[in-house]
Structures are given as structure tokens and as C-alpha cells.
Amino acid sequence: MHSSTRIPIQNASDPGPFKRRHTARYYAHLVHDNLTTRVSKIICAIFLGLLLVVGMVAFILWLSLRPHRPRFHILEFSVPGLSQDNGFNNAQISFNVTARNSNHNIGIYYDAMDGSVYYRDQKIGSLPSLLQPFYQEPKNTTVVHDVFTGASLTVNSQRWMEFMNDRSKGTVVFRLQLTSTIRFKISTWQSKRHRMYANCEVSVGPDGLILPISKSKRCPVYFS
């Protein structure tokens, strides 16, 4: 009689005994790492948020405290003798310009202001110390007006003939330059000095008066 050995057959639906792949210390360490990562992300998010807020506040303060250059506009400019054939005998140039401090909380100190007038990039008139040193309050406008005449206007007969030639074409173009050294004042702080130039290009008609195209025109301002 032959004896047979039974081999137990495992049920396919029976998963068998559970085998732990990692230790409890591993899972504890994994949870700790996840918590550390989350906390780090929260701290970084808070820091970046604060940095963004501080940056925006600094930018707004910079915009509000950043000095704006004075704004110059040419209102009147005339060469009365230009309408006369013999106007050279009483040649003069008069002008009226406004200087506007558009800053809200920043004042401007002006040293003495000088005036010059040019024709074809050649200086034909000069007014030193056009204005004495002054302080301009924020949101304030100063009127600058004077007349180039006599010793302040160096126009010879040849230059006047050039005026007449341009007059026959309908337009004579001049350039008025106002120069000063300015400082900005914020509360008790004052900036360094800046050499300022305001250049006003003016077109004059045959009657010697400023043309509408130039009236109330804003003059470019630059520093050196």
C-alpha cells in the first residue's frame, strides 16, 4: 500500500499573514518630515506675504515722496518791433512764464534765476538774476516775467534782417531758456543742489505776438 503526502492548497482569496514593510520608527519619522515641510511652507508663505506688503508700502511711499521737477509753461512772448519795418530801433522781447511746483509735500528752493533768449541757437539776449533766490511751497505757482531790451538784448541790424526774412515766411522761432540751481525740501531734509534748465521754444507771428501753437506750451526741463 502506497502512502501519499498531502500538500496544502492555499485559498487564492486568503491574503495570508500581513507582513510589515517598514518599522514604526520609519512611519513616525515620515510624519515628522511631512509636518516640518508644511510648517516650513507656512513660514515661507507668511514671510513672502510680509515682504510683499512691505514692498508695496515702500513703493507707495517712494511715489509720494519722489520729487517731481518744476513745470514751466510759456504764456506770453512778444517782439513788438517785429511788425514794423524800422522796429530794430526799439527792439525788445517780453515774456511771461509760469513755474509750477506740482509736488504735494515737497518744497523747492531756487537760487537766483537767469534768463536767456536764443535765435537759431545763437544767444541774442541775457538777463542775469532775473529772480532773486526764493522758496516755492508745494502746489504753488510762480510767475516769471521780464523784458529783454537795451543792453540785455544784443541784436544787430543783420540779425534783425534775418528776423524780417522769417517774418515774411509767417513764423519767427525763438528759444527762451530759464536757468537756476534748485534744492528739494521734504520736512527738515534737503536734497543736494541740481542745476536746472527750462527750454521754451516759441513761435512768433508776423505781428510779433506768440502763435497759438506755442501759447501755454509746456517747456522741457532737465538737470545737469
Query: Per-10-residue mean pLDDT for the chain, 224 residues long?
Result: 55 54 62 71 84 72 73 96 84 96 94 96 95 96 95 90 94 98 92 96 96 97 94
Q: Write down the pLDDT at residue 85.
A: 78
- Grid cell, residue 19, equals 507582513
- Please, which contacts does 26-35 make with residues 24 or more away whose CB atoms are closer than 8 Å? none
For residue 205, give every residue at least 6 positions away whose Cβ sits within 8 Å of its Cβ, in sequence order, or none.
170, 171, 172, 211
The continuous run of DSSP H or E covering 195 comes out as strand 194-204
Q: Write down the pLDDT at residue 89.
A: 82
Q: Write down the pLDDT at residue 46.
A: 85
Question: DSSP 3-state assignment of 201?
Answer: strand
Angstrom distance (rounded) from CA 207 to CA 66: 43
Distances (CA, A) of 28 to 19, 22, 42: 18, 11, 21
Q: Write down the pLDDT at residue 130.
A: 94
Burial of 58 (0-12, 13-18, 19+ CB in 10 A): exposed
